[in-house]
Amino acid sequence: MSADCPLQDTNPSGRTKTNFAPFDKGRRGRGGFRGVDRRNPLVQTKESPPPPLGDLIEAISQKSLDNSEGEDVYFGITESKLIASYNWADQKAPKIIIPGCPPLWKPLEHPQQLQGDSGVYYRDHNSAFFPKHPLEPAIVSVMRMHPNPLEIDIVGCNSTFGHLLRFVRGIECTFRMLVEVVGETVHLVRRENSPKEQLLGVKGFGHTFPDAYTIWAPDVQPSKSHHRILTYRFGGLSLLIRQSCDGYIEEKETKVLPATAPSKDQEDGIVGHFESLSINSSSVRLTDATPLEVVDGGQLTPQSTIFDLKTRSIRSIDQDTLGNELPRLWAMQIPKFILAHHKHGLFCNIEVSDIQEEVQNWEKSHQPDLNRLSALLCRIIATALEKKDTLLEIVRVQGGPLEIRQRLPDAGVAFSEQVKEQWLKWLDGGGEAHNDSDSESGSESGDFTGCNEECGYCGKCS
């Protein structure tokens, strides 16, 4: 072992620097850890043109979201709970493994110089692998793993939620997302210029490093990615958020979480339906009409073990990488962070941190931003429910306001008819359960301070 790369060195901050188990070149980690021809003709070299825009319905400025009446209210995430997860299988036809399992952190004992990233890397696996209905796999996994319905105000993902957070914080960014209403629940669906839009100009080791330092469990191989669905409350609203993660760290006391077993009727109505969609991937040609195959495999991994990972050059070791990532990690409720610094692909400085305290401190210090985020979510809900018979899209061009526009037909819809019908029944059951139950200490009545008497954003404060 190199003297410059100790096996374990805990610094005063409580973060652990690690370098671990010898790397077997025959072992396949995430994506297989194998070289890719840098002249790969499948690599996208320029950004796709943006789809055309529909008519403007409403423009929202950041300033219009300021709400002095909410200054005495604390805006934070509470009641966070993991309810479902799935893996995308590494095959041509769309297939998910439920509950799946993230790759295990399995570092190298002796660092080895890695090749730089050079493959095809999609911006959004869900739209790339299932472009017809990219939100559908998450909803399928929720209904299959959590048959007891919940009341949900907004469904989104770490991308859509993160974009809205960046907007209210005054960060310049361009994004689009589809808005779709099912029952009384508003869905925000990530939209790129093309479903198979790739990350352009990828450099560094952000993909080859996790390929070498993590490994998929045998019962979920081969997998491309792991996705998790959390519910939590924020600003008086119930959110369901899909996120991707880089992996998990095995802990001595880690226990596999039991998945809620569906009743026989629910098996027939939901699970049976998706089993009927299963396909023979070896004989099918992938098209937009290809159904989604759903199989069992893996285990529900506790959120307390999940980590996010970033790689950086050793030249940037003095930069506050974690500080820049905290808004995203707050929205995703990820408790661990791995920061790996390299010198020409040789990683000798790997820091594993428990970041829960840093995330909580970020939340406390950004209350004005989170106040505006709460108001924005309520305003989006109000417009979506008012225009529920009109397909909508949210558009923000760098430096401009957030625009709610009419969606053009080229965008498609969030769900197939079968899944939408099942999802509507699930959501309606959550509303009935909520209305029929007595709230505990008034907590279920919610804190709708993001609204005021004039706006009536969410309809719950009137």
Q: What is the pLDDT of residues 292-345, one digit of tens each?
A: 999 999 999 999 999 999 999 999 999 999 999 999 999 999 999 999 999 999
User: Which H or E run includes 297?
Assistant: strand 293-298
Return the pLDDT at 219: 95
Give CA separation, 105 vs 29, 68, 71, 141, 169, in Å: 10, 45, 42, 24, 33
Return the pLDDT at 424: 97
Return the pLDDT at 122: 86
Between the two ends of the chain, the Cα-to-Cα distance in Å is 66
CA distance 19 to 412: 47
CA distance 40 to 120: 8
Mean pLDDT lowest among 2-11, 102-111, 189-198, 203-212: 2-11
Token pair of 208 as six digits: 């080859």
Query: Has residue 266 got a pLDDT over 80?
Result: no
**CB of 179 within 8 A of CB of 186?**
yes
Question: What confidence category does residue 41 fall into, taking pLDDT thresholds of 50, 70 and 90?
Answer: confident
Return the pLDDT at 43: 87
**Furthest C-alpha separation in the chain:** 67
Return the pLDDT at 455: 38
Global confidence as pTM: 0.80
Query: Has residue 286 got a pLDDT over 50?
Result: no
Return the pLDDT at 289: 59
* Chain segment 157-184, per-residue pLDDT in tens: 999 999 999 999 999 999 999 999 999 9
Across the range 368-383, mean pLDDT stands at: 97
Query: Has residue 440 got a pLDDT over 80?
Result: no
Q: Residues of 379-388 as b/e, b for ≥16 C-beta within 10 angstroms?
A: bbbbbbeebb
Judging by DSSP bridges, how do beta strands 402-406 and 16-18 pair with one another? unpaired
Return the pLDDT at 143: 97
Provide the percentage of residues in the chain whose pLDDT is more than 70.
Answer: 76
Mean pLDDT lowest among 39-43, 211-215, 261-265: 261-265
Return the pLDDT at 265: 46
**CB of 65 within 8 A of CB of 375?**
yes
**Best CA proximity match to 411, nearest among 248, 180, 110, 165:** 180
Q: Exposed/middle/buried for 430, CB within 10 Å: 0-12, 13-18, 19+? A: middle
Question: What confidence category does residue 87 fall into, taking pLDDT thresholds of 50, 70 and 90?
Answer: very high
